[in-house]
Chains A and B, each alone.
Chain A
Amino acid sequence: MIPVLLILVPLISGLVTLFLRQEKVSKTWALFSSVITLAIAIFGAASANTSGNLLAFDASWVPTLGARFTFGLDGMGKVLTLLTAIAFPVIFASTFKNRYSGSNAFYGLMLFSQAGLMGVFLAMDLLLFYFFWELALIPVYFLCSRWGGERRIAVTWKFFIYTFAGSLLMLAGILYLYYQTPDHSFAMRSLYNIELTQRGELFVFWTLFIAFAIKMPVFPFHTWQPDTYEQSPTAVTMVLSGVMVKMGVFAVLRWLIPIVPNAAVRMSDVVIIFSIIGMLYASLIAIRQDDIKRLIAYSSIAHIGLMSAAMFADEGVATQGVVIQMFSHGINVIGLWIVADLIEQQLGTRKFSELGGLAQKAPTLAILFVVMALANVALPLTNAFVGEFLMFNGLFRYNHWMAGIAGISIILVAVYTLWMVQKVFYGEARTGVEMIADVSPGAKYMLITLVLVVIVFGVYPQPLINLTNDATKILAQLK
């Protein structure tokens, strides 16, 4: 029951939002519905895995194809639906002051994308998964192109065509898989038990992996990402980097590795090397950025690179680390975006060269931002440390050298993140920055909430680890 609610609540309230013409009303309604979704998600995450219909749903869809409406909420699903459910109210509340022309459409589309994301994380049927995968993309396309920066149209177009091409490749892979299942179905169970020839496995691996890699994005498929993050309205960027890129990582863990484990092992070297190149490359570029948004975008690529390397390290701990890190990174990056958005809204610039000394005028903001930045560096006692430690642990067991080279990025992350803090908040105050007011209450409480999440899960990560145990168990069973 819960999975259906998680999808239907945002979907229906999104439809309702389209008809709420008044700006204030549509905003409040969107916030309200996302809080309800959050409550449902928390309830779902807290309920134990019992048999029965609480956490699962199954209904006929296209009988002649063998496709079914099958949803389920397992450990990994719980973590990610929770992330999605937390992200949206935080985004709505922290950007509550921002004004959008045609706000009913804006909030309606935001809620649609939430429904799509939930569907991706809950679908237990591959065709259904594909459906939601695309559905999450379409609203974001409209959001970015309509409300983004001045280069928005060209940038989002590139983003869309890129991901759409990836999705279609995935469709080819899905079709191939479909005809290989003995009972002609898309159900996860029958796909997990599939036996493929070596060539077949490789075909499926590459068609699916390219689609997921574009979404994550992994080097060399990352070129759409910095532009899109920069040009999108910040609320949408938060959705994109906080939640949506996790779709790719999640899909690899849920579908790719379990279905074609042999190909995944065979190709792991290639994927890991590309991921590590991406990490270092993105970190180096991040150091040279003069724009907060672009810096965070490149930092995101570096983090995702580590996740994708760790996934293919074929170690239980690393996988668990990835799932935990998906959650932590989502929280942290949204925190960073909130600050970036506050600065941009108030001062009208995102350039480091025009900022500096903000801490004098906005001390609270500075403190909160520093905590977020430290979490981005994955300092111990922040939530990101747990995941990162597990991932490096797994990577180290896989190959010492690769782990060593990947480790360079830890230093680079510290370099650019601290640099950013320094240039924006400390140093001499530039002209123009005096206008900054300290944080507005809405954004303040949201940032404090995020900081609390960062610290609580940093000190006591056990709940997350418990939740993610079964994700790794499934992978272990397959061997």
Chain B
Amino acid sequence: MMFSGILVKHHAALKNIAIAGLLVLLGLNVGENYGFALFDINTTNMLHFERFGLLFNSICIFSTLLFVMLSGKDVEKVGNYTAEYFALIFFILCGIGIVTSYVNLMMLFIGIEIISIPSYILTGSDKKNLKSNEASLKYFLMGAFSTGIMLMGIALLYGTSGTFLVERAAAQTPSISYLEAMGLLLLFISLSFKVSLAPFHFWTPDVYDGAPTVFTSFMATIVKVAGFAAFIRLFESRYGSMGSQTERLIAIVIVLTLAFGNLTAVFQQSVKRMLAYSSIAQAGFMLFALFSLNDAAKEGLILYAAAYCLATIGIFAVLVKMEDGTFEGFNGFGKSQPLLAGVLTIFLLSLAGIPLTAGFFAKYYMLASVVKTGNNLGLVIIAVLFAAVSAYYYFKVIQAMFFKDGDVSFPAVTSRFKYLMVAVAAVIVILGIFPNLLLQFMYF
């Protein structure tokens, strides 16, 4: 369907071509969402495009577009292979297109791999930096290992049901066999690794810290939320037969992830590392969608993906330009760049989930989905307490920007950059008042 559009741009050598390509993609994707498809391809039961997946694609493409527009210049600074970097980003988008719409486990595997391999390369793209190399190697080894686990899981599922199709396999077996449970568990573990849920998160801080900051921004947002789309699609179809066992398992993972992500983020000195840990915490929140698996959860995931991507990309866009990435580096930022500091504040408030920002409704929907399931109020209380902890470290940045004095070395930015940032902030605020503007695309 709208797929081939993704592959075409792979020779894109310049930022502008990338932007143009993304715009075309976005247009096609939205058109598809309204039932207007450029061409039809028979995917022979490999992929199935529906609202949820398409909307997710739109969000990812839109975020990438923003990413390229805000940080395109910084991508060029990483090394001599600008064209290749953009191409890799487009490969990742292609993988995302697959994992949001697969119906066949083989496609899940292929999609995840298409996402992962370019990520390994991007992590190591700063070739002369030892940390970048180390991160890349670490990521690759761990990633390869988890891929192995995923294949094992898929093999087990295939062994029990004789098919790779997610839907049909679920329909055939009303009660679940040990083999199948094992397979699902392995799949769960490997996907948890990809979206960095505790206790499979250990690669995350090192990789996010080691990778060039621009690519960290990309991986921590777009790549990560795509993983959740894959998660949802997998468990949506199989979940019914699993019962309270998975629920308990997921609850434990959620609590671990929230605890680990939030508590370690509190003690970070560098904003980049803080964001890495906080992205683990945010992943914990997104996992609520998997826990409750109802309409509110899907709506919430969409909103969360949008809110989280926009805010994090925005923060990273500034962070990339900073020379000093510690909290002290932000001292006095409010004085020297009042506009950007104000915009950053909105992003941070959104990540903390303060009303009037998209982040609030994102968290709201997630919690609502859990309350809707009935008896899990304890989990909700734990979640809100950790959300309060997260406010602690996000506000540390705000404090540094506005209430502490210091000299910030910040390069001059074009006014286009500023306008764009203001526009992103405006989108966040508007979504924070009228979340329906985004969610209506799921129904209309």
Chain A residues at the B interface, C-beta cutoff of 8 Å? 61-64, 130-131, 134-135, 138, 142, 145-146, 152-153, 157, 160-161, 164-165, 168-169, 171-172, 175-176, 178-179, 203, 207
Given contacts A130-B355, A161-B392, A172-B380, 16 further A-B contacts (CB under 8 A): A62-B436, A64-B436, A131-B356, A135-B355, A145-B402, A157-B395, A164-B388, A168-B384, A168-B385, A168-B388, A169-B384, A169-B385, A171-B367, A172-B371, A178-B371, A179-B371
Partner of A135, one of B356, B371, B380, B387: B356
Closest CB-CB distance, A106 to chain B, in whole Å? Answer: 13
Interface string of B189-200 (1 = CB under 8 A from A): 000000000000
Q: Which 3 pairs of residues, A with B, have the shortest CB-CB distance?
A: A168-B384, A165-B388, A175-B371
CA distance A169 to B434 in the complex (A): 23
Q: Are B399 and A153 in contact (CB under 8 A)?
A: yes
Return the contact of B377 from the options A165, A178, A203 (Cβ within 8 A).
A203
Report the interface size class on chain B.
20 to 34
CA of A142 to CA of B345, assembled, Å: 11
Interface string of B292-324 (1 = CB under 8 A from A): 000000010000000000000000000000000
* Interface check B354, CB cutoff 8 A: yes
- Decide: A175 and B435 in contact? CB cutoff 8 A: no
> Given the known A-B contacts A134-B355, A179-B372, are A165 and B385 also in contact in the complex, defined by CB atoms under 8 Å?
yes
B368 at the A interface (CB under 8 A): yes
User: How many A-B pairs fall under 8 Å by CB?
Assistant: 73
B402 and A146 contacting across the interface, CB-CB below 8 Å: yes
Task: Assess the A178–B380 pair: CB atoms within 8 A.
Answer: no
B435:A168 contact, CB within 8 angstroms: no
Q: In the bound complex, what is the Cα–Cα distance between A157 and B385 (angstroms)?
A: 16
B22 is an interface residue with CB less than 8 A from chain A: no
Distance between A154 CB and nearest chain B CB, rounded to angstroms = 10
CA distance A156 to B329 in the complex (A): 22
Chain B 383-395 interface mask (CB, 8 Å, partner A; 1/0): 0110110011001
Task: Identify which of B355, B391, B404 contacts A131 (C-beta below 8 A).
Answer: B355
Which residues B276-304 have CB closer than 8 A to chain A?
299
A152-B372 contact, Cβ under 8 Å, with A134-B354, A203-B377: no
Residues of B within 8 A of A145 (CB): 399, 402-403
Other-chain residue from B355, B377, B439 in contact with A64 (beta carbon distance below 8 A): B439
- In the assembled complex, B259 has its CB within 8 A of some CB on chain A: no
Knowing A130-B355, A134-B354, A153-B399 are in contact, say whether A172-B377 is a contact too (CB < 8 A): yes
Contact A171 B388 (CB under 8 A): no
| Whole-angstrom CA separation of A178 from B377 in the bound complex | 13
Interface residues of B in 337-394 (CB under 8 A from A): 349, 354-356, 364, 367-368, 371-372, 377, 380-381, 384-385, 387-388, 391-392
Note all chain A residues with C-beta closer than 8 A to B377: 172, 176, 203
Q: Find chain B residues with CB under 8 A from A169 CB.
A: 381, 384-385
Q: Is the CB of B349 within 8 A of A138?
A: yes
Q: How far is the CB of B289 from chain A (nearest CB, A)?
A: 15
Are A62 and B355 in contact (CB-based, < 8 A)?
Answer: no
**Residue of B355, B368, B385, B434 with highest tally of chain A CB at under 10 A:** B355
Q: Are B403 and A175 in contact, CB atoms less than 8 angstroms apart? A: no
| Cβ-defined partner of A160 (8 Å) among B387, B395, B436 | B395
Instruction: Give the chain A neighbours of B388 by CB distance below 8 A.
Output: 161, 164-165, 168
Cα–Cα distance between A169 and B378 once the two chains are bound (Å): 11
Q: Which of A63, A130, A153, A164 contacts B403 (CB under 8 A)?
A: A153
Q: For A64, A130, A145, A169, which residue has the most chain B Cβ atoms within 10 angstroms?
A: A64
CB distance from A207 to the nearest CB of B (A): 8
* Chain B contacts for A64, CB-based, 8 A: 299, 436, 439
Interface of A is mostly: helix
A157 contacts across to B, CB distance below 8 A = 392, 395, 399
Complex CA distance for A207 and B392, rounded to whole angstroms: 21
Given contacts A131-B355, A135-B355, contact A171 B399 (CB under 8 A): no
Contact A142 B402 (CB under 8 A): yes
- With the chains together, A138 CA to B391 CA distance in Å? 12
Docked Cα-Cα span, A203 to B367, in Å, equals 16
Contact present for B367 and A172 (CB under 8 Å): yes
Task: Give the CA-CA distance A130 to B439 in the complex, in Å.
Answer: 21
Tell me whether B354 and A138 are in contact (CB under 8 A): yes
CA distance A64 to B439 in the complex (A): 9
Cβ–Cβ < 8 Å partners of A178 in chain B: 368, 371
A336 to B281, CA, bound (A): 45
Q: Known interface pairs A138-B354, A146-B402. Does A164 touch B439 (Cβ–Cβ under 8 Å)?
A: no
Q: How far is the CA of A334 from the CA of B47 in the complex (A)?
A: 66
Query: Nearest Cβ in chain A — how far from B427, in angstroms?
Result: 17
Interfacial chain A residues near B387, Cβ < 8 Å: 168
Instruction: Report the Cα distance A62→B391, complex, angstroms.
Output: 26
- A176/B395 in contact, CB under 8 A: no
- 7 A-B pairs, CB-CB below 8 angstroms? A131-B355, A138-B354, A160-B391, A164-B391, A175-B367, A179-B371, A207-B381
Q: Known contacts A145-B403, A203-B377: does B368 contact A175 (CB below 8 Å)?
A: yes
Residues of B within 8 A of A176 (CB): 371, 377, 380
Expressed in whole angstroms, the Cα–Cα distance for A131 and B356 within the complex equals 7
Q: Can you name the residue of chain B whose Cβ is closest to the Cβ of A60?
A: B436
Partner of B364, one of A61, A152, A161, A171: A171
Residue on A nearest B349 in the bound complex, by CB: A138
Cα–Cα distance between A160 and B436 once the two chains are bound (Å): 29
Inter-chain CA distance A75–B163, complex, in Å, is 67
Shortest CB–CB separation between residue A444 and chain B, in angstroms? 34
Most buried by B among A63, A130, A157: A157
A230 to B264, CA, bound (A): 32
Instruction: Determine the chain A residues whose CB is within 8 A of the CB of B436 once the complex forms.
Output: 62-64
Known: A146-B403, A153-B399, A171-B384. A161 touches B391 (CB 8 A): yes
Q: Taking the nearest CB of chain A, how far is it from the CB of B280, in angstroms?
A: 19
A64 to B300, CA, bound (A): 13
**Could you tell me the distance in whole angstroms from the C-beta of B96 to the nearest C-beta in chain A?**
26
Residue of B nearest to A162 (CB): B388
Q: Which of B299, B349, B388 has the most CB of A within 10 A?
A: B388
Q: Which residue of chain B has the shortest Cβ distance to A61 in the bound complex?
A: B434
A146 to chain B: which residues have CB within 8 Å?
402-403
CA distance A479 to B34 in the complex (A): 53
Q: How far is the CB of B77 from chain A (nearest CB, A)?
A: 34
CA distance A61 to B372 in the complex (A): 21
Contact with A along B171-184 (1 / 0, CB 8 A): 00000000000000
Contacts of A165 in B (CB 8 A): 384-385, 388
Closest Cβ–Cβ distance, residue A242 to chain B (whole Å): 24
Q: Assess A175 versus B380: contact at CB under 8 Å? Given A64-B436, A145-B399, A161-B391.
A: yes
User: Which residues of A sit under 8 angstroms from B404, Cβ to Cβ?
Assistant: 153
Chain B residues near A138 (CB-CB < 8 A):
349, 354
A179 CA to B392 CA in the complex, in Å? Answer: 30
